[in-house]
Structures are given as structure tokens and as C-alpha cells.
Amino acid sequence: MMFSQFKKLIGVGLLLLALLATLGYAMGWIPKRTPTAAVKTTPTNSNIELTASDIATAQKIDMAQGIPVSGTLKALRSAVVKARVAGELIAMDVREGDAVMAGQVIARVDPTEYLARQRQAQQQAEAARAQVEVTQRQFDNNNALVNQGFISKTALDTSIANLNGAKATYQAALSALDITTKALEDCQLKAPLSGFISQRFAQPGERVAPEARLVEIVDLSQLELEAAISSADALHVKIGLLATLTAEGSPQEVSAKVARVNPSTQAGSRSVLIYLRLQFHPSLRQGIFVQGSLGTHKVKVVVVPLESVRTDKPEPYVQTIQNGKVVHVSVGMGIKGEADGRAVMAVSEMPEGTQVLAPSAGFVRNGTAVSLAGQSAKP
């Protein structure tokens, strides 16, 4: 009973609220809501402000054109002096950097043992020579007796055999004497060429074996560069072709020319090795890294900074500034060189004076409006 009365009270209340709301709208107490219009947005062109360091200018310069070459220098003539006999190294008077002349004694091995062997061989040779003299006299006597008919021809043949055997023994003794004399001479080690000591491998007092390395001698009067170039570039390389090289850390240029060209390509890389002979220069050393151009000649070209040439598209391109906007211009990969201490590349697709974005500007979308700091973008 009470629940049904409660429901009736709720219904009456809702009805009163509805009547009040209708009366409020009619009297203007409650404003009517109108749908809001959609906000229209108009696209605006983005504008990027650049600094002077973000802009470079294509300029025409005289650039050296040639085949780039690089590598380390190697002495054309060098030698490692090795011990020829075993023994104690009793003297070595040269050190790294010392100049030596061809034929100069640079080390000595103890000759005591080899002197004794030489004396032994000398005495054996003298004994063999004495035996030859004895058999020679016997032969002469037997030959005279045979002519007189006192002995048979067989006895003379025996004398001839004994004489030939004694002579052979004497010759063998002389050969043994030559061997011991050569071993004694090998106790003194001489420089095979003139140059400088680059390495020293042994010290006095050490016992060395035959073929043990003692010192390395390098002749700096003739240096050579072994450089690898592509097989396509090798088609234009001839013996005698000139090159201009610079050593690492030195601005001074050094001339060189092609002395030899390897007839085969290298396995894997398909590159061709060429060998350039350098003119003598007192500052050059074996092992110095050098680089330069082969067949260099000057050409007048329009260049842009090499780092301004971007390769993040299928074709290389340069970001140019035209009428206040960035325009991507496709370029071919031209010759490379240096200008004002920075790497540049020749481009034939744009005239001199064209403004391009420097590497510091990064990537800018094609068609983006740009302006220099402090200036407004062009419309």
C-alpha cells in the first residue's frame, strides 16, 4: 500500500518538472541551444629561418681532375742482413737510423772455430799435394822402365791410376779449403747496399744461427707507391703517366710517375695495382701514407660542397633555394676535389651563384619556404 503511494508521488513530481521546463522555455528563462558551426582551418605554408652558415653558393673554380691514388710508401731497394754461419755475435756497431755504405762491415761473428777448420783444411790440402808429387815420380819412373822393357804395361797402368787418384784427392782438399775460407769470410757481415738501418734484430753477445736476422737496410733514394685503382680507371693509365702526391701531414707536393702496371686484377675487388716511382725527397720515409691524383689537369667547373649532395633518394640531389623556397635538383656524381680546404663536387645541372643548403641545414622538404634570419620569406 505504501509502495504504490510512493510511486504516485514520484510520477507527480516528474510531471511538475516537465511543466516547469516547458514554462521556462516559453517565458525565455532558459536560453535555447543552437548547434555550433564547424571551425574552418586554412592550410598555411611552413617557413624555416636559416642562418648565413646554412647557405652555400655554387661557385666556379679551377679544380684538379685525375684518378685518385693513395697508399704507403715502400723502398724500391731494401735488404735484411742475416747471419751466414752459427756462432757468437761479438760486434755490431750500427743502430737504427745509421747510414751505411755497400760493402761496409756491420757485424762480426766469433771466427775462432772457423780459423781452426781453415787450418785443418789447409794441412789436408798440403798432404794431398805431397801425395801427388810422390805418385807423379812413381809414374815417371815406371814410364821410363816400360819404354826400356823392364816392367810390364800393367804396372804402368797401375801408376797412372794412383796418380789420378792422388790428383783427385788433392782437388777435393782444395775444395774443402775453399769452403772453410768462405765460412771464415762469412764471419764478417757486410752491407749489401747503401742506405739506412731501419731495424736491428740482434745484440752483441747473442749466439746466432744461420739465417738469423740481424739488421734491415732501406735505401731511401728510390721510393715506390703501390696503389689500387678500379679496372675502369686502369684503362687510362700508361707507363710514364705523371702524378702529384702529398704526404700525410705535409702540404708540400711530390712528383711521381707510373713505373709498372700489374697485368692482372686483384681477386675479389677486381682492382688493378699500379706502381708509382717517386722523386727523391729528404722528408720522405718508408711507410709514410701519401695520397694524390694521377694524370692531373686543371678544369673550370661549378662546384658545391660535397656534403650538400644528398643520397637519401634514388638519385643524388642538391637542396637549392629558388624564389624563397627549397627546390630539390637532381645531379650527377661529378669529379671531386678541394676548394678553400673543404671537399667539393662538380655539378653541371646548376649555374654559378646558385644558393644551396649547407650540410648544417639538414633535410628540408621540397617547396618549403625559407628566409634568412632577420628577413621575411618571399611570398
The DSSP-derived string for 299-350 is EEEEEEEGGGEE-SSSS-EEEEEETTEEEEEE-----EEEETTEEEEE-SSS
Q: Is the pLDDT of residue 43 over 50?
A: no
Mean pLDDT (the chain, rounded): 83
Residues in the chain: 379
Residues 8-38: tens digit of each pLDDT: 556 656 666 666 666 555 555 555 554 443 3
pLDDT at 279 over 90: no
CATH code for position 227: 2.40.30.170
pLDDT in the model for residue 125:
92
- 22: cell is 516547458
The reply to whether 56 and 106 lie within a common domain is no
Better-predicted residue by pLDDT, 346 or 376: 346
Q: Please give the tally of structural domains in the chain.
A: 3
pLDDT surpassing 60 at residue 60: yes
pLDDT higher than 60, residue 352: yes
- For residue 3, is pLDDT > 80? no
**Residue 57: CATH number of its domain:** 2.40.420.20
**What digits encode the pLDDT tens for the residues 75-93?**
999 999 999 999 999 999 8
Q: Cβ contacts of residue 284 below 8 Å, gap of 6+? A: 73, 220, 223, 247, 254, 278
Q: Where are the alpha helices (DSSP H) in the chain?
A: 2-27, 112-148, 153-185, 231-234
pLDDT at 57: 87
What is the β-pairing status of strands 47-50 and 369-372?
parallel
| Residues 192 and 88 both lie in one domain | yes
- Residue 138: per-residue pLDDT: 84
Q: Taking residues 252-261, report their average pLDDT.
A: 89
Average pLDDT over residues 50-58: 85
What's the sign of the alpha-carbon dihedral 164, 168, 173, 178? positive
Last residue of a domain, which of 298, 328, 358? Answer: 298
Same domain flag for 101 and 150: yes
Picking from 165, 196, 227, the residue at the C-terminal end of a domain is 196
Give the mean pLDDT of 261-274: 89
The reply to whether 172 and 129 lie within a common domain is yes
Same domain, 254 and 180: no
Tell me the C-alpha distance between 330 and 328, whole Å: 7
Give the residue with greater pLDDT, 142 vs 183. Answer: 183
pLDDT at 358 over 80: yes
CATH number at residue 127: 1.10.287.470
Position 57 in a domain: yes
Pair 266, 191 in one domain: no
- Say whether pLDDT at 275 is over 70: yes
Has residue 29 been placed in a domain?
no
Q: Is the pLDDT higher at 53 or at 120?
A: 120
**Backbone torsions φ then ψ of 20, nearest 5 degrees:** -65, -40
- In the numeric block, which cell numbers belong to residue 301? 667547373
Helices 112-148 and 153-185: angle between axes, nearest 10 degrees: 160
Inter-residue contact 314 to 302 (CB < 8 Å): no
Q: Is residue 41 part of a domain?
A: no
Residue 12: inside a domain = no
| Max avg pLDDT among 36-45, 105-114, 285-294 | 105-114
Considering the domain architecture, whether residues 272 and 353 belong to the same structural domain is answered as no
Residue 110 lies in a domain: yes
The per-residue DSSP string of 273-290 comes to: EEEEEEPP-TT--TT-EE
Residues 106 and 153 in one domain: yes
* Whether pLDDT at 47 is above 50: yes
Q: Same domain for 114 and 183? A: yes
Range of the domain at 147: 84-196
pTM tops 0.75, yes or no? no
The answer to whether residue 26 is domain-embedded is no
- Identify whether 21 is part of a domain: no
Indicate if 279 and 308 belong to the same structural domain. no
Per-residue cell: 241: 703517366
31 lies in some domain? no
pLDDT value at residue 341: 65
Is residue 110 packed enough to be buried (19+ CB in 10 Å), middle (13-18) or exposed (0-12)?
A: middle
* Domain-terminating residue out of 265, 298, 331: 298
Question: Same domain, yes or no, for 93 and 190?
Answer: yes
Task: For residues 235 and 324, state if they share a domain.
Answer: no
Question: In angstroms, rounded to a whole number, what is the distance separating the alpha carbons of residues 310 and 217?
Answer: 49
